[in-house]
Amino acid sequence: MEHIISIPFLIFIPMLVAFLLMSPFFTNNEIVIRRFVKTFCAFHFIYAILMLAFFDSANPYLTTIHFWGLDWIQSMGVKFSFKIDSVGIILTTLTSFIFMIAAISSKLNIRKNHKFYYSMLLILMSAILGIFTSNDMFLFFMFWELELIPAYFLIGGKWNTSDNEDAKKSAVKFVIFTFTGSIFMLVGILLLHYYNYISTGVLSGDFADVLTTSIPTAIQYLIAICFLIAFGVKLPIIPLHTWLPDAHTNAPTPISIVLAGILLKTGAYGIYRFNYQMMNETFVNIAPILAILALINIIYTAFVAYSQTDIKRIVAYSSISNMGLILLGLCAYNAIGLGASVFHMVAHALVTAGLFMICGIVYLRCKTRDINELSGISSNMPRLFGFATLIVLASIGVPAFAPFIGEITTIMASFFSEMNDVLKFVAVFALPLLIVSSCYMLKFLHKGFFGEIKESFVKVNDISMHEFVVLSAITIGLILFGIFPNVILNLMELG
Amino acid sequence: MINDFFNIFLPQGCLILFILIHLVLSIFISPKYHRYARPISCVGISLGIVLLTTVQTEPQYFGFKNAVMSDAYTLFFHFLILLCGFFVALLTKNLVKSMKQNAYTFHAILLTAILGGMCVVSANDFISLFISVELLSFPTYFLIASKKGYFSKEASFKYLITNAVSTGVFLFGVSYLYGLTSSLNISEIYETIIEQDPSLLYSFSGILIVLGLVSKLAIFPFANWVLDVFKGSETSILAFLSTIPKIALFGIVCRLLVFSLGSSFELTFVIAIMAIVTAIWANTYAIREKNVKVILACSSAANAAYVILVAGLVSEYNLSTVIFYLTCYVLMNLGVFAFLNITESNGIGYNLEDYKGLYHKNHGLAVAYAVCIIGLAGFPITSGFVSKIYLFSGIANSGLIFLPFLIAVLLLTVVALYYYLKLIRPLFETSENANVNILSALFSQKFVLVVCTVLTVLIGVYPEKIIELCKFIAYNI
C-alpha cells in the first residue's frame, strides 16, 4: 500500500512547522507561539488517531519516496522508505500524545527563548516519529542521530532565569552517551549492509531485504552485540544507564516527560526492530542473558530509587526499572511478550509523564524537590493530591490501571516462554520484587503529601487549568487502557 | 607542446596571466586603487572555471612529454580547487585592506598557490609533482606570514621547516622508486611494477613518498605545525590552508596509491597507524582547548586522518567515498571560516567566550555557522552525515581486519562531537555583559557563508547526484 501523502505528512509536518517558527517572519509574541504550537500538536494528535482508526494490521502503511526517479542514496541502496506496522502505529500515536502533553505543560516551565524552544521540540518530534516509521536501516540511523541536537538544546538550554550549569553538563553527558551508542549502531549497520550484499547480492538498507541467514554466525553475533550496545544506552540497560537520572532530573518538566515517555521507548523499539526481528537467530541465544540484565534493571534501580531523596530522581530510576520490564517482555520472544512489551511501553509512558508532571508542579510551587523538605502539601493542593494518588497507585500496579496489565502480561509471557528456563527463573524473581516499586512510590506520596504542612508551603496554589487538563488526560488514558486493554492488544492481534 | 597547452593547460594559463597582471599592476598602480585587487583575482579564477570546459579528458590525455595528465579525476579536482580559491579570494577583503600597495602582490601569491594546487593534481611525473608541490608550498609561507604581528612569522617559519624536512623524505622515497624502476613517470612505474614482483623496498619507498606528501595535511609525524599555523594566521588564509592544499594533496596521494604504489599491505598498515595516531592526538588535544582556531586546526587534522585512512585501503569504492567526503568537508569548512571571517572583521576575538550570545542578535549568521559545525560533527540533514556514513562504509567493506580501526575512528568522532558542541554552545547562551552587537558582514562574506550552508544542507538531503559523479570519477581513473 502506498501512502505517499499521509506518512510523510505525519512525520515531516512538525519539522516544517519548526522551520516556520524559527524563521524571522514568525511573530516573537510568546502567547501566540505557545497557542500555535499547542493547536498544531492537538491537530497532529487527531491526525495520528485517524491513522490509527483506519489501520489494518494485514496491510501496514508503506511508502517509498523517490527523488527524480532515484532512491535516496542509490549507490548504497538506501531508500527513503517508511512503513508503519502495528507496533509503529501504537508508538506513533503515543508520540503524538506525549508531545501534545509536553507542549501544553511548557507554559509555566519555559520563560525564555520561546521560538527556539518550540522549534526544537517540534524537530525532536519529527525525529522520533521518523525512528518509529522508517523502513530502512540508514534512514533509522539518520533519525536516531537527528534527535540528538534538539534533545541537547532542550535539556541544556536556558529556558528560565534559574542557574543551569548542571543541566548543561547532563545535556553533554546525554549526547556523548547516545552518540557513542549510535557509533556501535553505525558499525553494526555497515557490517550488516556489507555482508548482506556479499551473501545475497542485494545492495540495500531496507529492513525487508536484509537476510541474516547466510551471514557467518560469528559476524552475526558481532553485529547483534553492536546493536545491543546502541539500544542498551537508550533503553537503558544497567551499566549504560548513568546518563539517564542526570538528564531527566535537570531537564525542564516537559522535556523530562518527553525523555521518559518516548525517548527511552526508541531504545526498546530498536531492539525489537533490529535484534528481535532482523537478527532473530542470535536473539534466541542472547535473550536469556538479556533477561538477566533486565532482572538486574528491575531490582537494582528499584532499590536505588528507594534511596533517593530528589523526587525527580525517584521517578527517573523507576523509569529504568520499568524499562527492564519492557525488555523482559521482548526477551520472552513470543507473541504475548511482544504485545505485553508494547502495552507496557504505552502504560509506562502515561505513568511517567504523569509523575514528572507532578514533580514539576511541586517544584514550581514549593521550589524544592527534596522529599525530606516536602510535607503536607495535600492540605492546600487537594486536586493535585487526587491526581497524584491515582497516578502513584497506577504506577505500583493496582488493578484497573494500565500498568497492572502491562506488568502481569509481561511476567506471564516470560514465565510461559518456551525458549529457556532462565526466563521462568527471571519471571519468578521479578514478580515479588515489583513490591519494591510500591515502597518507593508510596514513600513519594507519603512524605510529600501527608503530614503537617510546612509554613513556607501554606500560600502555595493548587494546580492551574492547563495542568488539570494534562493530568486528567493522563489519568483517563491510564484508566481506559486499564479497563479496556484490548484497544492496544487487538492491534497486536492478541485480543 | 603548443597543442598540449591548448588542450589541457588553458585554466592554468589563465591563472598565470592573472598572476602577471597582478605583478605588473603592483609595480605601476597607485596604492589607493588597492581595492581592485580582489575583483581581479575573482575574475581570473572564474575565467579559469569557465576554461575548464576546454580541457580534454577523454579518456586520458598526457601532455608535455607525459609530465602532465588530464582526465575526469583531475578535472573534478581542478574544479574543486578553483571553487575554493574563488571563495577564499572573496574572503580576503579585510586582510587586503590593511596592506595598501601590497594588495596586488598578495593576490599574485594567492593565485600562485592555487596554480600550484592545480598542477599538483595533474602531475604525472615525480619531477613535475615535486615542482608543483613547491609551487604550492612557497606561496603558502608568505600567505601565512601576511598577518601583522610576531605569531604569523613564527607560524610561517615553522611550516617552512616542517615542509623542508618532509620534502626531503619525499625525495628520498622517489629516489628509491627510481632506483627500483628506473623511471620517474607515474603511469610508467605502474606498468613496470605489474611486470615485476613488488618487493619490500618498493613498499618502503611508497611509505616515504606518502609520508612526505601528507605532511601538508598534518598527518602524524609532521602534524604539530598545524596548531601554530592556525593560531597565527588570518581566517581567510585558514580557509585557504584547510581546503586547497588538502584537495590537491589528497588528489595526488589517492592517485599515487591507485596508480603506482599499489596496495601493498605494509603501506596500508603504516598509513592506518599514522591516521589513527593523528586522529587520537588531534581529537584529544582539542578537548581542553579554548581557542576556536586551534580547535578547528585539530578538526582539520582529524578529518584529514579519517580520509587518509580510507584512501590507504585502496579500492575504487573507497576512492569515490574519499572524493565525496572531501567535497562535503571543504564546503562545510569554508562556511565555518566565512563566519569566523565575519566575526574577526567585527573585532571579536578567538576565545570561546567571545562568541557568547551572538545568536540573539544575528539569527541567520549564527544558524548558518551552527549548520556547518553540525555538519562537521556528522549530524543528519547536512552533507556531513551522508559523507560520514559513505566514508566509513569504505572501511567496513575492506574486511574484518580493519574493524578495530573503524571502531576506533568512530569513537574518536564522539570526542570530536564534544568539541564541536563546545564551538556552537556559546552562541546560543545568554551573555552576561549583554553588549553583543549586530555583526556587520560584507556581501561577499555572507555570500560564501550562505552558499556553503545551502550546499551543505542540499547535499545532505539529496546526495545521490554528487555520489554518482564521484563514483563515475573513481571508477574511470
**What is the tens place of the pLDDT at every residue in B413-447?**
989 988 998 888 888 877 665 566 778 888 889 99
Which residues from chain A sit within 8 angstroms of residue B390, using beta carbons? 73, 75-76
pLDDT, position B33? 79
Cell digits of residue B403: 574493524
CB B407 to CB A187 under 8 A? Answer: yes
Closest alpha carbon to A252 in A172, A345, A153, A318: A153
User: Average pLDDT in the A373-378 region?
Assistant: 80
CB A190 to CB B425 under 8 A? Answer: no
Burial (CB count <10 Å: 0-12, 13-18, 19+), residue A370? exposed
User: Average pLDDT in the A320-338 region?
Assistant: 88
Confidence band of A399 (pLDDT split at 50, 70, 90): confident
pLDDT, position B234? 87
The DSSP 8-state label assigned to residue A112 in this structure reads S
A23 touches chain B (CB under 8 A): no
Nearest by CB to B413, from A67, A72, A183: name it: A183
Nearest by CB to B410, from A75, A176, A186: name it: A186
Nearest by CB to B411, from A71, A168, A180: name it: A180
Q: Which residue out of A71, A124, A145, A220 would a mutagenesis test of the B interface target, given it has the greatest number of B Cβ atoms within 10 Å?
A: A145
Q: What is the pLDDT of residues B361-403, one digit of tens each?
A: 888 888 899 999 999 998 888 999 999 999 998 888 888 888 8
A142 touches chain B (CB under 8 A): yes
pLDDT, position B299? 92
CB B389 to CB A141 under 8 A? Answer: yes
* Mean pLDDT of the residues in chain B: 87
Give the number of other Cβ atoms within 10 Å of residue A25's Cβ. 6
B385 touches chain A (CB under 8 A): yes
Q: Which residues, at least 6 apart from B83, have a Cβ–Cβ distance to it below 8 Å?
A: B49
* Run of H or E residues at B289: none
CB B467 to CB A157 under 8 A? Answer: no
Q: What pTM did the predictor assign?
A: 0.92
Which residues from chain B sit within 8 angstroms of residue A72, using beta carbons? 462-464
Cell digits of residue B442: 560584507
CB B462 to CB A191 under 8 A? Answer: no
Distance, in Å, from the CA atom of B153 to the CA atom of B360, rounded to the nearest integer, reads 37
Q: What is the pLDDT of residues B195-221, one digit of tens each?
A: 776 677 888 888 899 889 988 888 888
Q: What is the pLDDT of residues A295-319, one digit of tens each?
A: 998 888 888 988 888 888 999 998 8
3-state helix, strand, coil in chain A (%, to 5): 75, 5, 20
Angstrom CA distances, A361 to A99, A254, A263, stand at: 18, 11, 22
CB A175 to CB B462 under 8 A? Answer: no
Closest alpha carbon to A471 in A353, A311, A362: A353
Distance, in Å, from the CA atom of A168 to the CA atom of B95, rounded to the nearest integer, reads 37
Q: Which of residues 146-175 of A touch B (CB under 8 A)?
A: 146, 148-149, 152-153, 156-158, 168, 172, 175
Confidence band of B16 (pLDDT split at 50, 70, 90): very high
Mark residue A332 as left, alpha or beta (left: phi above 0; alpha: psi -120 to 50; beta: remaining): alpha
Distance, in Å, from the CA atom of B155 to the CA atom of A278, rounded to the nearest integer, reads 54
Q: What is the pLDDT of residues A436-491, one digit of tens each?
A: 888 888 888 888 888 787 777 777 788 888 889 889 999 999 999 989 988 888 88
User: Average pLDDT in the A376-382 region?
Assistant: 81
User: Average pLDDT in the A155-176 region?
Assistant: 82
pLDDT surpassing 90 at residue B338:
yes
Closest alpha carbon to B139 in B207, B43, B69, B237: B237
Contact A317, A301 (CB under 8 A): yes
Q: Which of residues 415-434 of B touch A (CB under 8 A)?
A: 417-418, 421, 425, 428-430
pLDDT, position A163? 63
The most confident of A117-121, A210-214, A428-432, by mean pLDDT: A117-121
CB B392 to CB A157 under 8 A? Answer: no
Distance, in Å, from the CA atom of B243 to the CA atom of B266, rounded to the nearest integer, reads 29
Q: What is the pLDDT of residues A254-284, one digit of tens each?
A: 999 999 889 999 999 999 989 888 888 888 8
User: Average pLDDT in the A140-159 region?
Assistant: 88
Angstrom CA distances, A394 to A307, A463, B329, stand at: 21, 20, 52
Q: What is the pLDDT of residues B98-156, one digit of tens each?
A: 776 688 889 999 999 999 999 999 898 899 999 999 999 999 999 998 888 888 899 99
Q: What is the pLDDT of residues A403-447, one digit of tens each?
A: 998 888 888 888 888 777 888 888 888 887 778 888 888 888 888
Distance, in Å, from the CA atom of A326 to the CA atom of A294, rounded to the nearest integer, reads 8
Which residues from chain B sit within 8 angstroms of residue A180, using beta carbons? 411, 414
CB B414 to CB A183 under 8 A? Answer: yes
CB B393 to CB A193 under 8 A? Answer: yes
CB A183 to CB B390 under 8 A? Answer: no
Residue in chain A closest to B385 (alpha carbons) equals A142
Which residues from chain B sit within 8 angstroms of residue A221, using beta carbons? none
Q: Which residue out of A114, A149, A161 would a mutagenesis test of the B interface target, given it has the greatest number of B Cβ atoms within 10 Å?
A: A149
CB A70 to CB B464 under 8 A? Answer: yes
Residue in chain B closest to A226 (alpha carbons) equals B407
CA–CA min distance B428, chain A (Å): 8
pLDDT surpassing 50 at residue B60:
yes
The DSSP 8-state label assigned to residue B148 in this structure reads S
pLDDT surpassing 50 at residue A495:
no
pLDDT, position A132? 92
The most confident of A211-215, A240-244, B109-113, by mean pLDDT: B109-113
CB A190 to CB B393 under 8 A? Answer: yes
The most confident of A80-84, A206-210, A301-305, B110-114, by mean pLDDT: B110-114
The DSSP 8-state label assigned to residue A162 in this structure reads S
Q: Which residue out of A76, A146, A203 would a mutagenesis test of the B interface target, given it has the greatest number of B Cβ atoms within 10 Å?
A: A76
A203 touches chain B (CB under 8 A): no
Which residues from chain A sit within 8 angstroms of residue B396, using beta carbons? 187, 190-191, 193-194
Which residues from chain B sit within 8 angstroms of residue A190, using beta carbons? 389, 392-393, 396-397, 406
Nearest by CB to B462, from A67, A149, A184: name it: A67
Nearest by CB to B464, from A24, A74, A156: name it: A74
Nearest by CB to B464, from A72, A141, A168: name it: A72
pLDDT, position B447? 92
Q: What is the pLDDT of residues B179-198, one digit of tens each?
A: 888 888 887 887 777 677 66
CA–CA min distance B115, chain A (Å): 33
- Residue bearing the bigger pLDDT, B59 or A425: A425
Residue B350: alpha-carbon gap to chain centroid? 22
Q: Which residue out of B417, B418, B465 would a mutagenesis test of the A interface target, given it has the greatest number of A Cβ atoms within 10 Å?
A: B417
Residue in chain B closest to A152 (alpha carbons) equals B421
A76 touches chain B (CB under 8 A): yes
CB A180 to CB B379 under 8 A? Answer: no
CB B396 to CB A180 under 8 A? Answer: no
* Mean pLDDT of the residues in chain A: 87
Contact B69, B63 (CB under 8 A): yes
Count of A-B CB contacts under 8 Å: 92
Q: Residue A2 phi/psi, 5° resolution?
A: -100, 125
CB B464 to CB A187 under 8 A? Answer: no
pLDDT cut 90: percent of chain A above it = 26
Which residues from chain B sit within 8 angstroms of residue A193, using beta carbons? 393, 396
Residue in chain B closest to A176 (alpha carbons) equals B414
B239 touches chain A (CB under 8 A): no
Cell digits of residue A38: 499547542
* Reported ipTM: 0.90
Contact B211, B221 (CB under 8 A): yes
CA–CA min distance A172, chain B (Å): 8
Confidence band of A22 (pLDDT split at 50, 70, 90): confident
CB B385 to CB A142 under 8 A? Answer: yes
CA–CA min distance A375, chain B (Å): 36
Q: Helix H segments across B70-125?
A: 72-91, 93-97, 103-122
pLDDT cut 70: percent of chain B above it = 97
